[in-house]
């Protein structure tokens, strides 16, 4: 395996609604002489800006409602309520991924409508411009239920094998691997964030050394990394578990009262 190199892509300027983001990224990449097998990580924030996913900050709660399919957990704080929700794309995250940082004063940004499609559009432009097999990741910042802090993950991907199944292979000691499947796209997104940073204004990172994972554009995108409901051992969030427990208790009490117990 080759060494991993990560380079901040600079000089893109402020992205506005309607901008041709794939072409802007291509122009900024050109001085870095892209190579076959490179991966370009693009923060979802500039994708959302280019796609016009901005709304007035006063509509934040309404936007969370509209972008969510269920509330997983909630917790009040002095300024309101923190809501962990399932986004319409299947992602589970705080406030439906809606963010007010690094955007115009008085506005918020929603996640892209279809991050895999956004990644594909960028990948198509880069591959056409440079004549190279280039993978693209659209990244966003998520917390983890059992860990403190946040990290970037892939919410969109194109031209990249997002998951590497090692099932059936042997580990260094010769033991068979059964369920090991590194989330390659998430690992690349997390590494890229170390270069981009949250306050440095670097929305794109060029990653070199992961060429063995670059694939055709028909490869499944980051939606493949969302765990299916049938496989989710922790499907019920705190709010849902409490509500279900309350309803079960109410039914038991009603049944007992009816039976005269």
Q: Is the pLDDT of residue 194 over 80?
A: yes
| Averaged pLDDT, 91-109 | 92
Please state, in angstroms and as integers, the Cα–Cα distance from residue 137 to each residue in 68, 115, 143, 178, 246, following that order: 23, 9, 19, 27, 42
Which has more pLDDT, 167 or 100?
A: 100
Q: Enter the pTM of the model.
A: 0.86
Which has more pLDDT, 44 or 175?
A: 44
What are phi and psi for residue 254, nearest 5 degrees?
A: -65, -40
Give every CB contact of residue 253 below 8 A, 6+ residues apart in sequence: none
Element (H, E) at 23: helix 21-29
Which has more pLDDT, 55 or 179?
A: 55
Cα–Cα distance for residue pair 135/186, rounded to 1 Å: 13
pLDDT at 56: 96
Beta bridge partners of 68: 87
Going by pLDDT thresholds of 50, 70 and 90, the confidence category of residue 181 is confident
| Averaged pLDDT, 189-211 | 89
Q: Give the pair of three-digit tokens for residue 60.
A: 């934040």
Q: Is the pLDDT of residue 164 over 90?
A: no
Q: Is the pLDDT of residue 72 over 80?
A: yes
The least confident of 22-26, 46-50, 131-135, 193-197 is: 193-197
Q: Is the pLDDT of residue 241 over 90?
A: no
Please report, to the nearest 10 degrees, the dihedral formed by the alpha carbons of residues 31, 36, 37, 42 taken in order. Answer: 30
Q: Give the pair of three-digit tokens for residue 208.
A: 């070199």
Q: Give the pair of three-digit tokens for residue 244.
A: 């279900």
Cα–Cα distance for residue pair 67/32, rounded to 1 Å: 37
Going by pLDDT thresholds of 50, 70 and 90, the confidence category of residue 261 is low
Task: Supply the mean pLDDT for the chain.
Answer: 88
pLDDT at 258: 64
Q: Is the pLDDT of residue 184 over 80?
A: yes
| Averaged pLDDT, 132-155 | 94
Q: Is the pLDDT of residue 195 over 80?
A: yes
Going by pLDDT thresholds of 50, 70 and 90, the confidence category of residue 238 is low
Cα–Cα distance for residue pair 23/101, rounded to 1 Å: 25
């Amino acid at each position: 395996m080759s060494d991993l190199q990560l380079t901040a892509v600079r000089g893109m300027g402020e992205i506005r609604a309607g901008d041709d983001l794939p072409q802007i990224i291509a122009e900024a990449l050109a001085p870095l002489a892209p190579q076959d097998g490179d991966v370009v990580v693009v923060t979802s924030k500039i994708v959302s800006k280019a796609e016009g996913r901005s709304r007035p900050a006063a509509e934040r709660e309404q936007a969370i409602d509209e972008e969510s399919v269920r509330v997983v957990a909630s917790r009040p704080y002095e300024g309101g309520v923190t809501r962990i929700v399932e986004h319409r794309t299947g992602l589970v995250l705080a406030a439906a991924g809606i963010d007010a940082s690094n955007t115009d004063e008085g506005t918020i940004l929603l996640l892209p409508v279809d991050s895999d499609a956004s990644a594909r559009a960028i990948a198509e432009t880069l591959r056409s411009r440079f004549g190279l097999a280039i993978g693209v990741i659209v990244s966003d910042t998520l917390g983890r239920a059992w860990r403190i802090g946040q990290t970037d993950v892939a919410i969109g991907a194109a031209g990249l094998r997002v998951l590497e199944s090692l099932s059936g292979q042997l580990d260094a000691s010769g033991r068979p691997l059964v369920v090991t499947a590194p989330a390659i796209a998430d690992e690349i997104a997390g590494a890229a964030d170390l270069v981009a940073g949250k306050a440095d204004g670097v929305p794109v990172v060029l990653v070199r050394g992961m060429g063995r994972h670059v694939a055709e554009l028909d490869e499944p995108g980051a939606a493949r990394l969302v765990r299916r409901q049938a496989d989710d051992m922790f499907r019920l969030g705190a709010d849902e578990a409490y509500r279900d427990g309350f309803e079960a208790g109410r039914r038991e009490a009603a049944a007992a009262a009816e039976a005269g117990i």
